[in-house]
Structure formats: structure tokens, C-alpha cells
Amino acid sequence: MKAILHDYQDYCVNFILSHESSALLLDMGLGKTLISLTAIKELKDFGLLGKCLIIAPLTVAKDTWPKEIVKWDHLEGLTSSLIIGNKNQRLAGLAAKADIYITNKENFVWLTENHKWDFDTVIIDELSGFKATNTKRFKAMRKVRPKVKRMVGLTGTPAPNSLLDLWPQMYTVDMGDSLGKSVTQFRESFFYPVQSNGHIVYKWALKDGAEEMIYDKIAKNAVSMRAKDHLNLPERVDNVIEVELSNKEKLQYQQLKRDFILEIANQEIMAPNAASLGNKLLQLAQGAMYTTDKEVLNIHEQKKEALDRIIEEANGQPVLIFYWFKFDKERLLNWYPQAQDISTDKITAWNNGEIPIMIAHPASSGHGLNLQAGGHIIVWYGINWSAEYYAQANARLDRQGQTESVIVHHIITKDTEDERALQVVQGKITQQEALMEAVKAEMELIK
């Protein structure tokens, strides 16, 4: 596939090429992976890449990076090897000849302890995984960092209430060039204690003008929040994140789709007609189903890991999550204690940035609510068939008065009704076409 980079992506590629230490503090969905791989290819062509290591969350290391490498025409010739799995698999991955070696962040410490460090270029996706100075991961990175010739850190734009976490991340990138060699010095320079007991400080706050000063200092090594002043960012980015059912869950899905009935956990799930079948298949893709007694049967949590990563990469920025089934609401509130269900009396708090995660049903929140001041990140955790609900719900943030590029994430279960529902709401097929496909399957069953 031919890649056509946006102006801001070209800017970021050139930033990596011109800086031996660089951080791309851009939201998820703006193409940090494509940017990084394009830079890697150019570094290789110029003979400047050396041995390259990518550190990423496990699912991203296993799936996203390898797929992106082979997806784009201009990356032809780049080779990769995975350093994940059990010990023998990791050793085999290390022994393979490749341009790029990819490991997950949990195996990074093992790598530093069991392999003579010889990586010249390192890309960290997600940089916030190195935001705690007391972790083995950060200490291991601090040990090998002087041996790295070119370091690239990828993460979401830092929010003001998380700037204390910025020092370890920027130290990982530039060894203190921008924010100093010591976290103590960083705190004393830009923060003051607001809650303490003797020498123990429980809460810090930014000094007047400190936020702008911090951004000024990191600007030489980072494409940061201030880049919006000179980057031609798209008005809205639609991002599809695929998750996959396990083999067992795939068999259950196919049985339900074929037979209109599924026996699971001593329960019988039945779809009396084609329209009902589509609804049941969407439930299974979500990870839970309603039984004939209206009880909730939990089946899997495949989408949760993808949602965890979106929230982590948001790095403190508010996230608006749309769900469809009632069981999704209950699960989301259980998984994320900081989340709140939307209501009119919470709109002011949301727009003031006081609610980190808001969950909403598109049917009840798609009209009349002005939420654009509170955030710019939307997640469709559960998709539905209504193009009207979809458009109106997105317009809660993507509307006049919004000052950021709106990111709309869609967590979609691969090879399920999720994919067809997304096609419907995005106008690629009609709901009638989707229904006819289900009816066709029902007629074939009757035959």
C-alpha cells in the first residue's frame, strides 16, 4: 500500500532524522508508528540506523509493528525479528538477522541483563511506561541509555496534571538535556508542595508560569503540545483498533452464526430471527451476552486491553467512551473506578477537565450536550447500527469551539459483526445491506 504522509507526519520524520534524542508527544491515531518506520527506513538508507530496537506493549509488539512494516510500499526491504515469548523464543529472536528487533516492555529488563547491549537506535512505544523512577524498567534504561546513539520516545501529549511524570520520560529520551539530571531538581524548579508531612510531600502543584517553561525546555528535543501552533494537524482522525477472539471464542461465534443457537456455560443463547442474530453476534464480539432469562453471561475481555492502552496513552487527558449494551456500562464502571456515567449535572465538571473518563450511551447523549471543552478523545467501545447516533455522538466533541484535533477510536473485534456495524455507521454500506446479508444466512440455514 502506498503511504501519503500528512505535512505534520513529514515534519515529525524530519525531526527524528535531525535529532539524536527525540520525543513525539502526539495523540494515539496520528500515525506515530508510520512516522517512526519511515524515519527508520531513511536512517537505514543513509547508513545511520545501526541495530534498531523497538520496545512496545505486548500486543502492539506482536501485532501492530510487524504488520505496519510489511504494509507500506516505501518500507520494502526492512526486516524485523520478535524478542518475545519464552526464553528460547527470545534467544532465537535475538539470534536472527534483521534491521529491527521488537520486544515488549515487560521483557526489556531481561534483555538488558541477558544480552550484551549492542542496539544503536531505540524506539520506545509507549514512553509513559518509563515514567516511574523507582521501577526496574527505568533503572535498566538509565544503565544502557548512554550506549544508545539515537533514541525516539512515543507517547500521547502530556496533560498539565501529569507533568511530574514528564521528567523520567524526557530523561529516558535525552539523559537530562532538557529537564535536568535530577528529578529532585526538576520538582524544586517547577513545582511546590501543597500537601506534606515533614519532609514527605504527598501532592505537588505547578508554580506560576512553570507549564510554559517546561514546554519551552523540552521543545528542542520534542514535538509537543506546542507543535499545534505550526503543525497542520487534521481536524479529525478516525482510528480503528482491531482485537481478535481466541480460537475457542471464534468457534462459539461461528456456531451461533451458523445455528442461531449457542450452548455455553450451561446456558442456551437463541436468536429467533436474522435481526436478533446480528444483535447476539454483536454481544459476543463485545465479550458478554444476555441469556433467555435476561442475565448477563461474561465470555471474554478482548477489548479491555485495547481500551487500557488508549487510556494509558491519553496520559491524563479526558476520554469519552461510548457503549451500546447495558452490560458494557456495568463492566466499564467496574474496570475503571475513576469513570463516571454521563448526566446533565456532570457536564460542567467534564468541561472543566475534572472527569478523566466519561462513559455514555449514544442514544441518550447524542443530542444537545456540548462537551467539546472537556476533551478531544472519543472511544467507541461498543458500536451499533445507527448512523444517526454515531454522527450525533461524535459531534459532542467534534464541533465548533473544539480547540484540539478530535481522535475517534473504534475498538473492533476482527471477523465479527463489529466490522459490518462500523461499515454501516461510516456510510460504507447501508443497514439494509447488512440485514440482507443476515437474512441470506438464515435462508441458507433453512435450505
Is the confidence at residue 81, as pLDDT, over 60?
Answer: yes
CA distances from 290 to 203, 287, 293 (A): 44, 11, 8
Contact 213, 190 (CB under 8 A): yes
What pLDDT does 159 receive? 54
344-352 contacts at long range (C-beta below 8 A, 24 or more positions apart): 344/369, 347/371, 350/318, 350/374, 350/375
Mean pLDDT, rounded, for 215-232: 74
Domains of the chain: 7-229 (3.40.50.10810), 235-447 (3.40.50.300)
Among 37-46, 133-142, 152-161, 406-415, the least confident range: 152-161
Average pLDDT, the chain: 87
Which pLDDT value is given to residue 392? Answer: 82
Rounded to 5°, angle at Cα 214 from 234 and 228: 10
The reported pLDDT for the residue numbered 385 is: 84
Rounded-to-integer distance, Cα 276 and Cα 442, Å: 11
pLDDT band of 76, cuts 50, 70, 90: very high
Q: What is the pLDDT of residue 389?
A: 85
Mean pLDDT calculated for residue range 62-71: 89
Phi, psi of 290 (to 5 degrees): -90, 130
Q: Look at 1-15, 37-51, 215-229, 371-385 and tell me which has the smallest mean pLDDT.
A: 215-229
Q: What is the CA radius of gyration of the chain?
A: 24
pLDDT number for residue 370 = 79
pLDDT at 445: 45
Model confidence pLDDT, tens digit, residues 429-438? 555 455 455 4
Whether the pLDDT of residue 178 is over 90: the answer is yes
More confident residue, 204 or 151: 151
pLDDT surpasses 70 at 300: yes
Cα–Cα distance measured from residue 352 to residue 68, given in angstroms and rounded to the nearest whole number:
37
Cell match 459483526: residue? 417
Worst-scoring range by mean pLDDT, 69-83, 131-145, 268-282? 268-282
Torsions phi, psi of 245, nearest 5?
Answer: -70, 155
Least confident of 9-23, 34-48, 211-225, 347-361: 211-225
Strands 100-104 and 52-56 come out as parallel
Looking at residue 278, its pLDDT comes to: 87
pLDDT at 356: 94
pLDDT tens-digit series, residues 110-161:
999 999 999 999 999 988 889 889 999 999 999 999 999 999 999 875 554 5
The lowest-confidence range among 41-50, 108-117, 177-186, 434-443 is 434-443
Q: Residue 372 pLDDT more than 70?
A: yes
pLDDT attached to residue 230 = 53
